[in-house]
Structure 1
């Protein structure tokens, strides 16, 4: 242990003495602070705007004049999606996902008004977030301070002397890895913890138990990632004859893992599992509805059968003799069928997206960057799963609202006045405003089981390498 501690101490001294490394730390520190400021300001501003308009929408909704309940269900309700607490750190798909959805009867709308839709093409080149810096730039820093850690010792003959003095290859690689890792962690994880502390001190209302759990897991995740990068750096250096060769190998690996494989995963996923367009999606639903029937067509076979079954159930011969308004009953059935079809097609589309994303999940076993990116977005609540969960919750709310007004129409509107009778607007105020049920950390991770297995694979691989490998370094 003493020899490993000495190796770690020497590695720290070598890094600190490298002026370029200190300059890079300063540059990265400025970038982290800048991205943190931009991220926090943007999140707070966006949520403030969305809360403001959500209150206005709710105000207009509950202060409607007396209306027919069917008119109210068509009046609709606009819901805004709140940005997650940790989205200032990891932007994920936030800028590309819509932030509002219009809920109305008989129609399921998509989430619209994304930030990307109102920005110029520069957004395609990516946004500078804290997560992006830690995911892509810090590994470059690790490669720079560690590429020559063993390769240079080889080229100048010092490595032979160290091995001859009884320092094992295993201890040497472990010490060098821990040296690079501990320095990187002290600087960048320390900066991350400081920024998180300041952010939640300024906005304490954001720090809930769930957010704290997510933050702790995110910090642990990035710490593990830095260890993987440090291990890879020392391993490449140990297998290289010169420092320059090791640096080139590491840069090629960085380009492959950080640029080529992520883009390839996206393109391959779309080719193998092509998804349909929004127009095709809506067309398929319309075609299926035509197959079932049209509730507005008095001669429609399905709804004639539905009418006959309803009359038989209540033992009457005419809808006028029913103890309720048949129009409201009919609308409730039409809404049920429409919703059922929409959800079936939506689930099918989501299954296609999951298959596309599975390519990146499987590549996480060879690309730690993809592993980190997927888990980072999941943990911070900025991934596709959280976005889709918002859509599903709003759709459930829309359906419940619509059926509530259909029940009002069925039970409180006279059949002879189906289109003209109005109800007191107090009945509209009985409905609670939409509240998104936030998901916990374990729910988020349950959507990333393959990527979690990839993380476990990397941990086991590194553990095995130190337990059974590194018995000899090729000089």
Structure 2
């Protein structure tokens, strides 16, 4: 690019800005957009920081409360349970992702795998469920409208006002004219991204990687560039401002409103998932085949009983040096957990498959692409939620089996069997509270930045393809500009 061409580009961009500043609509849109973005960043940041502090505090309290329980029968502690809380990722101040729908804590107890609880959207009123003005929502949905309102007449107004022929006759090529208009729109994009980038940098204090921050800002830069190119394309293609605006408004509705919902519908239809009631009945049917872990006389455990008697070379379970009821509880929990994990993994595989089908629509809608990219890079995607469920389940199984080991080793079989005879027998069936130190510290962190960015490669490619196609289309139309 020669210096003369560069100066012409800047001249066209400056002229575009002068037009915008003279237009009350453009100035109003710029101010409203900037205020919305800035206010949403501040409000969401405060909210997520409070949530992070609260969940860390609740996690510590849950662990202390569990450890501070008095002397009890170990199986009582299995049912007393424990909580696992998921702390927000550092970048979730910009995109809470699916966290608002999936829940942020799980009650962990023996013999069951509970679902995550306290999802904001499930607890909110009908009004709050319409959508939150998070930074990601504003940039994904409202920022394209801002670009449309500002730039829909960029080229078409030159035709309407009869100035296009004059500009071209003065030596300004159509390519330079369109590029200059695009440069002005890119400067608007920079203004939109500044508060987003500043807020993202604050996440460095909470341990976020600069690599993830750069990927996040780059993704949104590519997304808004697509809309800037769409604005230029339609403004170049149509000779009237009204036609350009109508086409852009229709495109916004199609790409930002209709396509994401079509993607969700197609995903749910193409990868059907079993309903909760149907799944619950299937789980119950499988668990019935395992035997009742609360009943040491259940025939399902006869083989285990025989192997224990042979191992310890005794004739009855009363002669065993360990508590047979505890052994049964431990073995039953292991078998039960295996079955529950099979169903859980099947459900998560279905959810992931549905998500992947939905993400494929990023080739048809940049909105779908940036939404996927944003949640993946931030660490609020379905993959991160599934890892939270798996780690919480590992915590549940470990502490339950730890208590079952206490049941096996610290309580005699005879005292265990006589625990309901009287108050003194009940007291003898308790073990010391010092045995409750079976919990591992639970601190859930998002995946490393490199892994998140690797998952988002497909979304980056989708956005890049959109830019490539639009550049070719604009270049083709620009050559025909008269």
User: Shared fold by TM > 0.5?
Assistant: yes
Shift of 1:459: 4.5
Cα separation, partners in 2 of 1:208 and 1:100, compared to 1, 3 Å:
closer
For structure 2, list consecutive stretches of 5 or more residues without a partner in the other structure.
Answer: 420-427
For structure 1, list consecutive stretches of 5 or more residues without a partner in the other structure.
Answer: none
1:164-215 CA distance string (max 9 Å, x none): 555444444333223211x213311123234456xx3xxx8x7244254333
Question: Given the alignment of the two structures, is residue 429 of structure 1 paired with residue 442 of structure 2, yes or no?
Answer: no
Aligned to 2:163: 158
| Residue range with higher mean Cα deviation, 361-370 or 447-456 | 447-456
Shift of 1:423: 2.8
Contact 1:168 1:471 in 2 (8 A): no
Question: Given the alignment of the two structures, is residue 191 of structure 1 paired with residue 189 of structure 2, yes or no?
Answer: no
Aligned with 1:121: secondary structure? coil
TM-score, normalization by structure 1: 0.89
1:3-57 CA distance string (max 9 Å, x none): 4333333333333333321111111222223322321232233334333433332
Aligned with 1:96: secondary structure? helix
Cα separation, partners in 2 of 1:211 and 1:372, compared to 1, 3 Å:
same
Shift of 1:377: 1.8
1:61-109 CA distance string (max 9 Å, x none): 1111122322222211122222222223223233323222111111111
Distance 1:50 1:460 in 2: 44
Contact 1:69 1:422 in 2 (8 A): yes
Match for residue 138 of structure 2 among 133, 137, 141: 133
Aligned to 1:286: 284
Shift of 1:417: 2.4
Question: Given the alignment of the two structures, is residue 411 of structure 1 paired with residue 419 of structure 2, yes or no?
Answer: no
| Residue range with higher mean Cα deviation, 388-397 or 432-441 | 432-441
1:421-471 CA distance string (max 9 Å, x none): 3332222235333222432223334544543442343354356667x8456
Aligned to 2:246: 248
| Residue range with higher mean Cα deviation, 16-25 or 235-244 | 16-25
Aligned to 1:374: 372
Aligned with 1:210: secondary structure? coil
Give 1:43-54 correspondences, 5 Å limit. Answer: 43-54=48-59
Contact 1:363 1:370 in 2 (8 A): yes
| Residue range with higher mean Cα deviation, 318-327 or 383-392 | 318-327
Cα separation, partners in 2 of 1:26 and 1:51, compared to 1, 3 Å:
same
Aligned with 1:128: secondary structure? coil
Aligned to 2:33: 28
Cα separation, partners in 2 of 1:333 and 1:461, compared to 1, 3 Å:
farther
Give 1:344-363 correspondences, 5 Å limit. Answer: 344-363=342-361
Contact 1:67 1:425 in 2 (8 A): yes
Q: Name the Cα RMSD after superposition.
A: 2.7
Contact 1:236 1:250 in 2 (8 A): yes
Match for residue 273 of structure 1 among 261, 271, 274: 271
Distance 2:180 2:84 in 1: 54
TM-score, normalization by structure 2: 0.87
| Residue range with higher mean Cα deviation, 237-246 or 160-169 | 160-169
Question: Given the alignment of the two structures, is residue 342 of structure 1 paired with residue 340 of structure 2, yes or no?
Answer: yes
Aligned to 2:479: 472
Question: Given the alignment of the two structures, is residue 148 of structure 1 paired with residue 153 of structure 2, yes or no?
Answer: yes
Give 1:279-318 correspondences, 5 Å limit. Answer: 279-296=277-294, 302-312=300-310, 317-318=315-316
Shift of 1:345: 0.9
Contact 1:239 1:473 in 2 (8 A): no
Match for residue 115 of structure 1 among 108, 112, 120: 120
Contact 2:323 2:411 in 1 (8 A): yes
Distance 1:195 1:431 in 2: 36
Aligned with 2:79: secondary structure? helix
Count matched residues.
Answer: 467
| Residue range with higher mean Cα deviation, 237-246 or 456-465 | 456-465
Contact 2:283 2:343 in 1 (8 A): yes
Question: Given the alignment of the two structures, is residue 65 of structure 1 paired with residue 70 of structure 2, yes or no?
Answer: yes
Aligned with 1:232: secondary structure? helix
Aligned to 1:87: 92
Aligned to 1:239: 237
Cα separation, partners in 2 of 1:253 and 1:207, compared to 1, 3 Å:
same
Distance 1:402 1:103 in 2: 9
